[in-house]
Amino acid sequence: MRLAVLSVLLSTLSWPAMAVPDTLAQRALACTACHRAEDNETPHGYVPRIAGKPAGYVFEQMRNFRDGRRQHDGMARLLEHVDDRYLAELAGHFAALAPSHRATRSQHVDEAMAQRAVHWVQRGDAVLGIPACSSCHGTALTGVTPNVPGLLGLPADYLVAQLGAWRQGLRHARTPDCMARIARALPADDIPDIARWLAAQPLPGNPASTSSPPAVWPLDCGSIPK
């Protein structure tokens, strides 16, 4: 009886419709549920920020997840029906946001490790055909707009995992895939040293990507438009 009376009362009430703004920020909530303004470590793994990253890079990674060049079931399902035009809009939205950075986590880097890492990061190896990381990712290692991400502020484990994915053919970029070529040519024993050294570097006061690309890119990369 009480349930019947309650049902009748509820049927007479008029609930106002909730107004949901039709904005890109509102639609992007599907992304920011996981990708916060800062890098986020969760019980389910590390989730990198996308706020403030170069628009071209964010666009390419969303395409890579959608088209199977990067492996992540959740991202693939989220993006499988999204066209390039809308991906470009989302990428521009996130690129315009100011990133929030956590302090760099403490990393033990001894002198020998630092020397090996600096060799690859600042000089590269002409014999192996490996350019310095800084020649593409910027002298400050904060990235180059619109297509190259920064390397600072990322956990060492994440950097090792991404280089390992390229080495093992689990992560791809558009052909020619220059990062796959670099990752496979790097001595495997030096990859953890590079990652730990990068993770130990403090972020500059202005962590934004530079808008000044190198005069000549050291490699032909499919993800960097000519």
> pLDDT for 162-176, tens place per residue?
999 999 999 999 999
For residues 142-148, average pLDDT: 95
In this predicted model, which residue has the larger pLDDT, 220 or 36? 220
- Domain range summary for the chain, segments of one domain joined by +: 21-102, 106-226
Residue-level pLDDT at 105: 63
Residue-level pLDDT at 64: 96
The yes-or-no answer to whether 21-102 and 106-226 have a common fold is yes
Q: Per-residue pLDDT for 19 more than 80?
A: no
Alpha-carbon gap, residue 51 to 58, rounded angstroms: 9
Radius of gyration of the chain (CA): 22
> pLDDT for 25-55, tens place per residue?
898 999 998 998 777 777 778 899 899 999 9
Alpha-carbon gap, residue 66 to 70, rounded angstroms: 8
> pLDDT for 80-100, tens place per residue?
999 999 999 999 999 999 877
Residue-level pLDDT at 179: 97
With a CB cutoff of 8 Å and minimum separation 6, the contacts of 69 are 63, 171, 172, 173, 174
pTM for this model (two decimals): 0.86
Residue 107, Ramachandran bin (φ over 0: left; ψ between -120 and 50: alpha; else beta): beta
* pLDDT grade for 12, boundaries at 50, 70 and 90: low
Residue-level pLDDT at 21: 79
* CATH code of the region 21-102: 1.10.760.10
Residue-level pLDDT at 13: 60
For residues 105-128, average pLDDT: 91
CATH 1.10.760.10 for the 106-226 domain, yes or no? yes
Q: Other C-beta atoms within 10 Å of 215: how many?
A: 5
- Taken in order 166, 226, 142, 58, the sign of the CA dihedral is negative
Alpha-carbon gap, residue 69 to 139, rounded angstroms: 28
